[in-house]
């Protein structure tokens, strides 16, 4: 592969076609089904998937077929088949559904308005994960433009990832014969430690969410009349949370939610920490000035990738401050979100949490914990020598620095599914979610330069995958 020719082609594709297309996609509020249960009625999901389909059909890729596959009541799946010069299968994955707006966007930015500033494309869904299908097909085109052979490529773009990919297994079953048995999986939906080199994700944490409800009364009562007799529902919440989390350190106290960290992952975390240094924590929008965590960079990365955590992400039962009178609350409901080590069974974890919260109920209150989502994590198989060499080659060629390996604190449900179905496959899990890109939050952006270089790297890996046995 001629690196300059590849870079020139990819850069032109991004500038002339991909960036304008993603900009139009950002305008579409196609929120994932969990956040928009009436997604089918609203039509935004259909608009988004048809936009992607239309662009894909314009690409002059030899013998490519593009299809929107539908199962009634489920978000559509974009399925793309590109024959290659071998029967081996490369599966490329992305998603087109989005997180909701969130608050706190800068005055000149908006979740549904694309804005390009300082080499970044702002707007919801650009980095998570609007670029994936464009990057995948452009990488394939970059090879075909130079008459470089590649394997049979299958591209899946789902519409349910941000809701836990609960629609995806139905499509995987439906399309099993057409997908085949991939021996390489490329997922463009992951984090990058910085924007200076190619990053490969080696593990993903699992996710467990549920609601904790504490009922004390059937209706609110005067706090002066009842307090001292009727227990506070919020105090009960504090008691119960202390069973599962150390309030001073944030350490999860349930042993079954922990896992041994493989030695290889410890070594990778240490190398990543040495590369990133302060960026491990400085990438976040801290409210305090000049934050200095007590733990080492390595320990912070391990906390984020291989140790369980608990976050309270929502509440019900408390009035807004302007309406907060002298009333003892009848109930309190919290949304709990656990991130689990990659090798912990999420369903087993749900049972452990439920038992810890509901056993030995404090007097005079009713306690209930209901898990509403449990998603498996993923730990990558040992990387094949050809893939490791290819990633290093690609990173040096297009970034000028070596590739790096790092676990990720988030969850991509598809990886867990595919890991079980294709135990012999190799994985390149990478992406553009770098420092301050803030997917799911305000001011989400896509780093354009990294998107271009990442696309070139994918092309290099596809070439090396075909040539590895020659």
Do 319 and 410 lie in a common domain?
no
Write out pLDDT tens, residues 333-392: 999 999 999 999 999 999 999 999 999 999 999 999 999 989 999 999 999 999 999 999
| 326 and 249 assigned to the same domain | yes
CATH number at residue 197: 3.40.630.10
On whether both 189 and 217 belong to a single domain, the answer is no
Nearest Cα residue to 389 out of 401, 380, 379, 402: 402
From the number of C-beta atoms within 10 Å of its C-beta (0-12, 13-18, 19+), residue 212 rates as buried
- Residue with token string 């390996």: 405
pLDDT digits (tens, 9 = 90+) for 437-456: 999 999 999 999 999 999 99
Asked if 221 and 427 touch (Cβ cutoff 8 Å), the reply is: no
Residue 416 is predicted with a pLDDT of: 85
Helices (H), 167-326: 168-174, 176-179, 223-226, 233-244, 263-276, 279-282, 297-305
- Banded model confidence at residue 422, pLDDT cuts 50, 70, 90: confident
In a domain, 92, yes or no: yes
- Asked if 439 and 127 touch (Cβ cutoff 8 Å), the reply is yes
* pLDDT > 90? residue 465: yes
Q: CA torsion 211→212→216→220, rounded to 10°?
A: -50
Tell me if 38 is assigned to some domain: yes
State whether 57 and 76 are in the same domain.
Answer: yes
Q: Is residue 368 part of a domain?
A: yes
Residue 404, phi then psi, degrees to nearest 5: -130, 160
How many other CB atoms are there within 10 angstroms of residue 351's CB atom? Answer: 13
Cross-sheet strand order for the sheet of 366-375: 309-316, 331-340, 206-215, 366-375
pLDDT at 469 over 80: no
CA 205 to chain centre: 10
**Number of compact structural domains in the chain:** 2
| Cβ neighbours for 145, distance < 8 A, ≥ 6 positions apart | 5, 9
Question: Which among 321, 355, 375 is the end of a domain?
Answer: 375
Q: What is the CATH number of the domain that holds 238?
A: 3.30.70.360
Query: Are 210 and 193 members of one domain?
Result: no
Query: Stretch 131-154: mean pLDDT, rounded?
Result: 98
Q: How would you class 404 by CB atoms within 10 Å of its CB: exposed for 0-12, middle for 13-18, buried for 19 or more? A: buried
Residues 6+ apart with CB under 8 A from 25: 48, 51, 52, 96, 125, 126, 130
pLDDT tens per residue across span 72-102? 999 999 999 999 999 999 999 999 999 999 9
Boundary residue ending a domain (318, 344, 375):
375
Per-residue pLDDT band at 423 (split at 50, 70, 90): confident
Angstrom CA distances, 72 to 29, 38, 40, 228, 465, stand at 21, 14, 10, 55, 37
pLDDT (0 to 100) of residue 470:
63
Average pLDDT over residues 239-247: 97
Same domain as 350, residue 214? yes
The predicted model scores a pTM of 0.92
Per-residue pLDDT at 49 = 98
What is the separation of C-alpha 77 from the centre of its chain, rounded to a whole number of angstroms? 18
User: Within a domain: residue 387?
Assistant: yes
Q: What mean pLDDT comes out for the span 32-40? A: 97
Boundary-marking domain end, from 375, 395, 413: 375
Band the pLDDT of 421: cuts 50, 70, 90: confident
pLDDT at 185: 97
Whether the predicted pLDDT of 133 surpasses 70: yes
Residue 93 DSSP label: E
Asked whether residue 174 falls in the same domain as residue 99, the answer is yes
> What's the pLDDT at 257?
98
Mean per-residue pLDDT, 41-68: 98
Residues spanned by the domain of 221: 206-270+302-375
């Amino acid at each position: 592969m001629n690196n300059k020719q590849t870079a020139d082609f990819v850069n032109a594709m991004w500038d002339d076609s991909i960036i304008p297309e993603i900009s139009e996609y950002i305008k579409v509020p196609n929120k994932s089904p969990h956040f928009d249960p009436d997604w089918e009625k609203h039509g935004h999901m259909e608009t988004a998937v048809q936009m992607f389909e239309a662009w894909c059909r314009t690409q002059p890729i030899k013998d490519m077929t593009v299809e929107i596959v539908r199962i009634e009541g489920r978000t559509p799946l974009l399925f793309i088949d590109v024959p290659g010069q071998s029967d081996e299968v490369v599966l490329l994955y992305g998603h087109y559904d989005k997180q909701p707006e969130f608050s706190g966007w800068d005055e000149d930015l908006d979740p549904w308005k694309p804005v390009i500033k300082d080499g970044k494309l702002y707007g919801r869904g650009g980095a998570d994960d609007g670029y994936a299908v464009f990057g995948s097909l452009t990488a394939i085109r970059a090879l075909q433009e130079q008459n470089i052979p590649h394997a049979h490529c299958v591209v899946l773009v789902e519409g349910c990832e941000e809701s836990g990919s609960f629609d995806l297994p139905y499509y995987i079953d439906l399309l099993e014969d057409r997908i085949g048995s991939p021996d390489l999986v490329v997922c463009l939906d992951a984090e990058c430690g910085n924007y200076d080199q190619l990053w490969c994700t080696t593990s993903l944490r699992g996710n467990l969410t549920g609601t904790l409800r504490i009922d004390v009364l059937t209706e609110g009562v005067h706090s002066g009349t009842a307090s001292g007799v009727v227990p506070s529902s919020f105090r009960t919440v504090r008691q119960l949370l202390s069973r599962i989390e150390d309030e001073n350190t944030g350490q999860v106290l349930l042993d079954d939610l922990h896992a041994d960290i493989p030695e290889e992952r410890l070594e990778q975390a240490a190398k990543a920490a040495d590369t990133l240094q302060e960026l491990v924590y400085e990438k976040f929008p801290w409210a305090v000035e000049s934050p200095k965590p007590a733990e080492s960079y390595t320990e912070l990365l391990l906390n984020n990738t291989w140790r369980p955590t608990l976050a309270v992400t929502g509440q019900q039962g408390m009035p807004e401050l302007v309406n907060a009178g002298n009333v003892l609350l009848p109930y309190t409901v919290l949304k709990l979100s656990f991130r689990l080590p990659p090798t912990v069974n999420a369903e087993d974890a749900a049972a452990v949490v439920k038992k810890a919260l509901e056993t030995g109920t404090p007097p005079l209150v009713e306690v209930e914990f209901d898990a509403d989502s449990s998603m498996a994590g993923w730990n990558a198989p040992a990387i094949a020598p050809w893939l490791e060499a290819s990633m290093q080659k690609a990173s040096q060629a297009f970034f000028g620095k070596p590739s790096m390996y790092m676990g990720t604190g988030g969850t991509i449900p598809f990886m867990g599914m595919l890991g079980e179905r294709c135990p012999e496959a190799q994985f390149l899990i990478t992406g553009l979610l770098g420092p301050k890109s803030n997917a799911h939050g305000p001011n989400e952006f896509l780093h354009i330069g990294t998107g271009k270089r990442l696309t070139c790297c994918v092309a290099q890996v596809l070439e090396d995958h075909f040539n590895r046995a020659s």
